[in-house]
Amino acid sequence: MTDLARTKDILSELISFPTVSTDSNLDMIQHMGALLYDIGASVDIYADDSGTKANLFATIGPDRDGGILLSGHSDVVPVADQDWRSDPFQLYEADDKLYGRGTCDMKGFIAATLAMAPEFARRELSRPIHFAFTHDEETGCIGAQTLVSELKARGIKPGIAVIGEPTMMRIIEGHKGCCEYTTRFSGLEGHGSAPDRGVNAAEYAVRYVSRLLEIREELKGRAPGNSRFDPPWTTLNIGRVTGGVAHNVIVGKSEVEWEFRPVQSDDYDYVTSEITRYAETVLLPAMRAICPDASIETETIGEVTGLEPMPENEARDLVAGLTGSNDADVVAFGTEAGLFQSLGLSAVVCGPGSIDQAHKPDEYIELKQLSACLDMLKGLGRKVAA
């Protein structure tokens, strides 16, 4: 069986696990753990507090620092309300493309690493190769955050991380951070005919959103002069606003889901301090003048650090040598790479498929992209052979 055929078989198995972020990923994690254990890898599975989600960390090769970490997330986005021409959780092949939820984002890369794992295991490696498969990347990189903490606690120190998000096998050395929040407003309900007697949570949510939109415009003027991002400034997006039960009822509860993607740490401080100041000094006093129990509470869904481009980057240089590309770009979308970089290792994002296909109906990955990824991983095996 060819490496590509083996990768397709594994990918078919992975796609069959409906690991939407709202659901458990344990079956898929255990399946991948068994594949790696069977070839002699050391395998650790870390369940979250709920016991329904888990990360996998496995190692092939010597027990030493400076290993090469291959990382991918196991979760996928929902398929609800999307019009697919085939079952999204059954791999479908047509026109040299493989269709299914997660084919490019990012089970294709995971399948390629698992297909090449036996080749790694057959070699005498000069440095370990690690496999890091996480949960809940799509909802704030929650799994990667806990895995990074676990690796720190265990004193495991890889030297390089390759995060296989779909980049068409381009080398990505930098990306923006991603900070996601849900802000909840609690007011005082009442009859719509007497709006001054209540505290309309939706109205205060709207004012909050208006201030966020003002901050969004202010961020454009804060773009670093040397920014390589497109757009070059920190972006801010309002994802969802909810509240209310009827036309004639003062809204008692409202929520705003929002996010921003900083290009620099100063922008993180600016956004969070400005919106907090506005809520605490302008909105809350007005709400509590009528209802002392009124509140504004913000839940942090995820605060994922960006991947900072570094002048010296062993991961970039290694992948460049394996792929034959000397170009390294930056992108606006976020990944887990910055979290692994926080361990003190060098990191890049490079994987098969296009981000343009991610999250859409009829998501697919081209076979030639999987082949290119396999070529990179084969080269990696040769590179680290003792």
Catalytically active residues, by annotation: 75, 137
Residue 51: count of CB within 10 angstroms of its CB: 9
Q: At what angle do helices 26-38 and 108-122 cross, to 10 degrees?
A: 20
Whether omega for the bond prior to residue 118 falls within 30 degrees of 0, making it cis, is: no
- Return the sign of the alpha-carbon dihedral for residues 349, 319, 135, 361: positive
Contact 370, 93 (CB under 8 A): no
Q: Which residues contact 221 (CB under 8 A, 6 or more apart)?
A: 233
- CA-to-CA distance for 135 and 139, rounded, in angstroms? 9
Amino acid found at 102: G
Report strand pairing: 295-304 vs 178-186.
Answer: antiparallel
Q: At what angle do helices 265-278 and 201-220 cross, to 10 degrees?
A: 150
CA atoms within 13 A on the CB side of 275: 30
Supply the DSSP symbol for 353: S
Q: How far apart are the first and last CA of the chain?
A: 26
Report strand pairing: 54-60 vs 42-47.
Answer: antiparallel
- Identify the CA nearest to 167 among candidates 305, 315, 380, 335: 335
Q: Counting Cβ atoms within 10 Å, is residue 261 exposed (0-12), middle (13-18) or buried (19+)?
A: buried
- CA-to-CA distance for 54 and 52, rounded, in angstroms? 7
